[in-house]
Chain A
Amino acid sequence: MWSFLIATVLLPLPLAVSTWAQESRPPDASRPSGRAVLERIDENLVLDSATGVSEMIIHGRSGTRSIRSRFWKQGADSSFVEYLSPPREAGKKMLKLGDMLWTYAPEPADRIITISGHLLRQSVMGSDLSYEDLLENSRLIEVYDAEVTGEEPVGGRPCWVVRMTSRVDDAAYHSRTVWVDKERWLPLREERYARSGRLLKKTTIEEAQRIGERWYISRATFRDMLSSGEGTEYIVESIEFGAEIPGHIFSKAALRQ
């Protein structure tokens, strides 16, 4: 009889007390809402239009290789990338318009290849980034609900821990956890999860740069957590926000120019 009483009444008591205590705790006035955090991240990272030069350092099983490229981005739908080095990759180009992507290789066959659907999820040149990851420029706030779940420093900088859950059916990642720099509003660490809860990708921003009013990535590392590679470093060498980009850049004709 006593054991039944303890099991049914007394054991759940601490849990109930704790839940009551949490619910009755006044909201932390200094803690921003998840939505506000996403807005600040989008302000920094979503580009209306930009052009610049970046470098991708791929730490693969067979060694490390580096690929430099110039990029042009306009809104969420239009991107153009031209590879500058190494010589083997120089001249290759990539155009994204909406859900379609075309790659162009001058050698050996002067060919344009269409990439769409599941092929967009393939790795770009053996890196930890997919075509989608590389050219993504959509607003987090349009895709995810967010909740600030705590605080935790990353690299010595105080961060908000934000749990994001997709609120649309076609989000690539069902949920994400980001550690957002409280001062610069950059996601210094990010984990992207599958619907099953399995960790798929991890991103860390090691260096950031201030350009005008905006904080932007200088150096970040992407890692596909399902594969055993050492990750891919992404370095933004230079970037110009609000650049005037001629319309012909975002056309298939530009691939062969």
Chain B
Amino acid sequence: MLVPKLAWRNIVGAGLRTWLNVIVLSLAFVMIIWAQGFVRGMFEYTRHTMIQYEIAGGQFWHPGYDPYDPLTIDEAHGIVPAALQSLAGEGEATAVLVAPGAIYPDGRAQNVLLKGIDPAQTVVEIPTGTLAGGGDGYIPALIGERMARQTGLGEGDWVVVRWRDAGGTFDAADMRIEAVMSTTLASIDQSQVWLPLEQLRGMLRTPGEATFVILGRETPPPAAGGGWIHRDLDYLLSDITAMIRSKYVGMAFFYGLLLFMALIAIFDTQVLAVWRRRKEMGTLMALGMVRSRIIALFTLEGALHGLLAFLAGAIYGIPLLWWTARAGFPLPEIAGEMGFALPERLYPSYGALLVLGTAVLVMIAVTVVSYLPAAKISRLRPTDALRGKMT
């Protein structure tokens, strides 16, 4: 217990120098946790929103469907396999038919994707119930806020829609915007128009067909047949996971910089301590303390900075991080155009693993930079040390 006692007495005795180091390190510590919580909050929000509005419990795709290939979207539809039809009949799945088209808001042509969905579905939280009232000689449509902004269309507006049926013949009709849904998810909003499934099937002359089927959140995937491909949540979220991973990598530079600045301060303190306390080391050796214990003493002094920083960070960090997790951060409007769902206010998410992982990382880094100057002691002769010489 001698070494810890001595170490504690020494760093407390160092006064302001210790506390300055502790404050700088704790700032780095809290900032790293906050930034990681920010990215984690972003990921959790996007994942939750995609499941809620777009992918639910996974999807089955028509074999020709590739959402990133506009050249094949024309042909990517077919009769829904019986197993999926049966699930859709029970409300456990919902079919979506996708077709390219154009709308003419204010006489200006704009290419869109027409997406047909059952108005009565409850698998995803798109407000498709608003499409239930149409069919009297017009096409009811649902669009998102982005689309409404892009086109200047609002609830109750009429617009001409033009499409081609499965054979390739043009058709056009009037469409009424029944509702504008509020969503942060661009993938169900941007350049998209939602229509009643049966009406779109009639327009395209593709009865019973769909492009993909969304499964309910608790619905196990059946053996669909017909070549339809099951896409699970891991697959459907892989883009967003990769994007968030790249954000983590980008943030790692920021963490590294913060930690580097704090560790430089600790390293500097340790180098000075080893230099100034040569006679003290010599005295300890002369009194019988072995070199390894002296190294342990100096390393522990440095590591205690990390422990104190952790405690100091907890004093102001816990309320601060708790408050940010509760109140969130308002994001600028441009954040919504980044390609994935971002809310107006982002709530960081801090898990125990995140805090403990960061604490362990900081402690290891502090211990290593504390040990490096202290390692010189292993070559120190007691007689030189007592005379104030370093060898």
Residues of A whose CB lies within 8 Å of any CB of B are 61, 114-119, 121-123, 166, 169-174, 192, 194-196, 198, 200, 224, 226-229
Contacts and interface: CB of A to CB of B under 8 A. Distances in A.
A171 B170 CA distance: 8
Contact of A61 (B73, B108, B160): B108
A184 B107 CA distance: 35
A195 B70 contact: no
Given A226-B104, A227-B108, A228-B107, A200 B172 contact: yes
A132 to B, nearest CB: 10
B391 interface: no
- Chain B, interface size: which category? 20 to 34
A169 B164 CA distance: 11
Nearest to B168: A170
Nearest to B162: A226
B169 A117 contact: no
B171 A174 contact: yes
Given A117-B72, A123-B109, A227-B109, A196 B171 contact: yes
B15 interface: no
Contacts of B74: 117-118
B220 interface: no
7 contacts: A116-B71, A118-B73, A169-B168, A192-B170, A194-B169, A194-B172, A226-B162
Interface string B143-180: 00000000000000000101011011111110000000
A122 B164 CA distance: 12
B111 A122 contact: yes
Interface in B234-285: none
A174 B171 CA distance: 8
Given A166-B169, A173-B169, A194-B170, A118 B160 contact: no
Residue among A114, A169, A194 with most chain B CB within 10 A? A194
B168 A198 contact: no
Interface of B: 70-75, 100, 102, 104, 106-109, 111, 160, 162, 164-165, 167-173
A136 B126 CA distance: 41
The 6 A-B residue pairs with the shortest CB-CB distance, nearest first, are: A228-B107, A169-B167, A118-B100, A117-B74, A170-B168, A195-B171
A166 B70 CA distance: 27
A114 B72 CA distance: 12
Given A117-B75, A194-B170, A228-B106, 10 more contacts: A117-B70, A117-B71, A119-B71, A166-B169, A169-B168, A171-B167, A172-B169, A195-B170, A195-B171, A198-B171
A118 B104 contact: no
Contacts of B169: 166, 169-174, 194-195
A171 B107 CA distance: 25
Given A118-B70, A122-B111, A194 B167 contact: no
A198 B106 contact: no
A191 to B, nearest CB: 13
Contacts of B167: 169-171
B205 to A, nearest CB: 9
Nearest to A226: B104
A117 B170 contact: no
Nearest to B161: A226
A166 B170 CA distance: 12
Nearest to A195: B171
A121 B70 contact: no
Contacts of A170: 167-169
Contacts of A61: 108
Contact of A171 (B73, B111, B168): B168
Contacts of B106: 228
A117 B77 CA distance: 14
A118 B106 CA distance: 22
Contacts of B75: 117
B172 to A, nearest CB: 4
A226 B70 contact: no
Contact of B170 (A116, A169, A172, A228): A172
